[in-house]
């Protein structure tokens, strides 16, 4: 029974050394300097180990190897004669791998920030307890490194993303980094992790014109969606032959082909930061996103990427807050941020009110999700058509009073 307790203690000791290695490696020296200035518990010991990684490494390796060898020796002795030697070796390896390596490293990788300062003090105690053996191992290591013509004192300090994030967070708290600057830098990091697939406008939400469409029909599409650029398809969205600019319609073209422009194609897996660079280098603002089979997955615009950095922005067709305008008797085009109170007062309407103030809030209260462009919702005698929306929010809507005299409108 005493040997079983001893085995558990030794296994926990090995887990301590294995997990500590992960926790210390995940800790930045800049982070420990901040803890030192704030006089946090264990900051001095943590800073010592992070500043001298060779000291930490030798302590962990010596301590962990002593623990594993001791555990394996006692474990084998206890089971000899009970199990076959091969099964003893297999069981011993399994227990050490799971409980002394994988579990502690996984747990402390996630909890390194909270745990490392509390691990540093017992680690320093073990360092001094094993100091004679550590010095012998350290000396032998240095001799071998010199023989291999490697300078043991040469330490490379790499300034990585985590270090920059720590400095930004600290600088923001002291006013050295403006809040907007902090947000932009943080979003820039996020953009480097995002793929075009996560930023793009999905295929189902794309507004496109057909190569065979006549110009009046194209104009109606532009008036309905209020976008600046439109992909041009030939038959289906999987056969995109180019793009048009809404402003080119001012040239009075006779056909879509006359104002057709080349369009750029990109894979779904392209990083968002690379897409931004390509937009800048090629001086373009829109690209078609294709999947692994060559089919159309969606489209991505410069505006989509810029919004990832700066938040929602307005283009030349977007409404200012609270604005709406009548386009026919009983019909208005409105920003989703237009307030219901203003619409009801100025148009003598009776749009329902509740725990929301805007048209967008009214739609979400009834729909419970973001409707796609072109989708129509009937609410309390009003026909609301979503004209423009992103994956995250409704932007522009068209509202028609259903009880008003019916007027034939082309949308």
Q: What mean pLDDT is predicted for residues 57-65?
A: 91
Task: Give residue 321's pLDDT band: very low, low, confident or very high (50, 70, 90).
Answer: very low
Do 126 and 205 belong together in one domain? no
pLDDT on residue 188: 62
Q: What mean pLDDT is predicted for residues 20-49?
A: 83
Do 101 and 202 belong together in one domain? no
User: Which of 256, 277, 310 lies at the terminal end of a domain, its last residue?
Assistant: 310
Q: Which residues pair with 233 in a beta bridge?
A: 210, 240
- d(C-alpha 173, C-alpha 369), whole Å: 37
Q: How many domains does the chain have?
A: 3
Do 47 and 111 belong together in one domain? yes
| 318 has pLDDT over 60 | no
pLDDT on residue 341: 86
> Is 316 part of a structural domain of the chain?
no
Q: What's the CATH code of the domain at 369? A: 3.30.465.10
Cβ(396)–Cβ(387) below 8 Å:
yes
Do 10 and 126 belong together in one domain? yes
Do 135 and 66 belong together in one domain? yes
Domain span including residue 226: 197-310
Question: What is the CA 249 to chain-centroid distance, rounded?
Answer: 38
User: Which of 283, 310, 337 lies at the terminal end of a domain, its last residue?
Assistant: 310
Cβ(56)–Cβ(134) below 8 Å:
no
The pLDDT tens digits for 338-371 are 888 888 888 889 999 887 888 988 998 888 778 8
Do 297 and 334 belong together in one domain? no
Do 214 and 260 belong together in one domain? yes
The pLDDT tens digits for 200-233 are 888 877 889 999 999 999 999 888 888 889 999 9
Predicted TM-score of the model (pTM): 0.42
> Is 70 part of a structural domain of the chain?
yes
How high does pLDDT run on average in the chain? 82
User: Which of 117, 147, 177 lies at the terminal end of a domain, its last residue?
Assistant: 147
> Is 115 part of a structural domain of the chain?
yes
How many Cα atoms occupy the beta-carbon half-sphere of 29 within 13 Å?
11
The pLDDT tens digits for 85-137 are 889 999 999 999 999 999 998 888 877 777 888 999 999 999 999 999 888 88
Q: What's the CATH code of the domain at 247? A: 3.10.580.10
Do 45 and 88 belong together in one domain? yes
- d(C-alpha 300, C-alpha 203), whole Å: 10
Task: Give residue 151's pLDDT band: very low, low, confident or very high (50, 70, 90).
Answer: low
> Is 213 part of a structural domain of the chain?
yes
Do 277 and 143 belong together in one domain? no
> Is 332 part of a structural domain of the chain?
yes
| 176 has pLDDT over 80 | no
Do 219 and 135 belong together in one domain? no
Do 365 and 296 belong together in one domain? no
Using CA atoms, how far residue 272 sits from 109, 193, 300, 303, 304, in Å, is: 27, 7, 10, 12, 10
Using CA atoms, how far residue 274 sits from 192, 243, 271, 280, in Å, is: 8, 22, 5, 10
**DSSP assignment string, 79-93:** HBTTB-HHHHHHHHH
| Token pair recorded at residue 76 | 């084998």
> Is 233 part of a structural domain of the chain?
yes
Residue with tokens 């194609």: 265
Burial (Cβ within 10 Å: 0-12, 13-18, ≥19) of residue 275:
buried
pLDDT on residue 168: 47
> Is 84 part of a structural domain of the chain?
yes
> Is 69 part of a structural domain of the chain?
yes
| 281 has pLDDT over 50 | yes
Do 142 and 14 belong together in one domain? yes
Q: Please choose, from the candidates 112, 110, 131, 111, the residue with its C-alpha nearest in 3D space to the C-alpha of residue 32.
A: 112
């Amino acid at each position: 029974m005493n040997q079983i307790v001893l085995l558990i203690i030794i296994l926990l000791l090995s887990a301590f050394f294995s997990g500590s290695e992960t926790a210390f490696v995940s800790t930045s020296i800049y982070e420990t300097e901040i803890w030192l200035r704030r006089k946090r518990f264990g900051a001095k010991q943590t800073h010592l180990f992070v500043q001298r990684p060779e000291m930490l490494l030798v302590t962990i390796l010596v301590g962990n190897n002593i623990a594993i060898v001791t555990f394996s020796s006692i474990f084998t002795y206890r089971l000899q004669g009970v199990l076959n030697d091969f099964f003893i070796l297999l069981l011993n390896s399994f227990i050490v791998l799971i409980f002394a390596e994988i579990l502690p490293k996984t747990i402390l990788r996630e909890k390194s920030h909270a745990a490392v300062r509390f691990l540093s003090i017992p680690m320093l105690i073990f360092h001094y307890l094993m100091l004679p053996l550590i010095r012998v191992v350290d000396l032998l290591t240095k001799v071998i490194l010199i023989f291999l013509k490697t300078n043991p004192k040469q330490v490379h300090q790499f300034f990585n993303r985590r270090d920059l994030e720590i400095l930004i967070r600290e600088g923001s708290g002291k006013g050295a980094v403006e809040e907007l600057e902090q947000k932009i830098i943080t979003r820039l990091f996020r953009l480097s992790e995002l793929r075009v697939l996560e930023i793009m406008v999905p295929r189902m939400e794309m507004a496109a014109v057909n190569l065979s469409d006549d110009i009046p029909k194209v104009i109606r599409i532009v008036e309905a969606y209020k976008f600046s650029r439109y992909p041009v398809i030939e038959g289906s969205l999987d056969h995109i032959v180019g793009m048009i600019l809404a402003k080119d319609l001012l040239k009075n073209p006779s056909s879509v082909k006359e104002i057709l422009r080349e369009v750029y194609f990109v894979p779904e897996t392209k990083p968002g930061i690379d897409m931004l660079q390509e937009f800048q280098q090629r001086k373009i603002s829109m690209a078609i996103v294709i999947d692994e089979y060559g089919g159309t997955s969606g489209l991505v615009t410069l505006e989509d990427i810029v919004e990832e950095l700066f938040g929602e922005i307005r283009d030349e067709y977007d409404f200012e807050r609270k604005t709406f305008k009548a386009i026919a008797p009983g019909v208005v085009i409105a920003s989703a941020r237009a307030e219901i109170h203003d619409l009801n007062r100025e148009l003598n309407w009776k749009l329902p009110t509740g725990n929301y103030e805007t048209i967008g809030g009214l739609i979400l209260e009834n729909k419970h999700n973001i409707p796609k462009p072109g989708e129509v919702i009937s609410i309390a005698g009003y026909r609301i058509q979503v004209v423009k929306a992103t994956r995250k929010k409704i932007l522009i809507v068209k509202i028609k009073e259903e009880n008003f005299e019916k007027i034939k409108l082309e949308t």
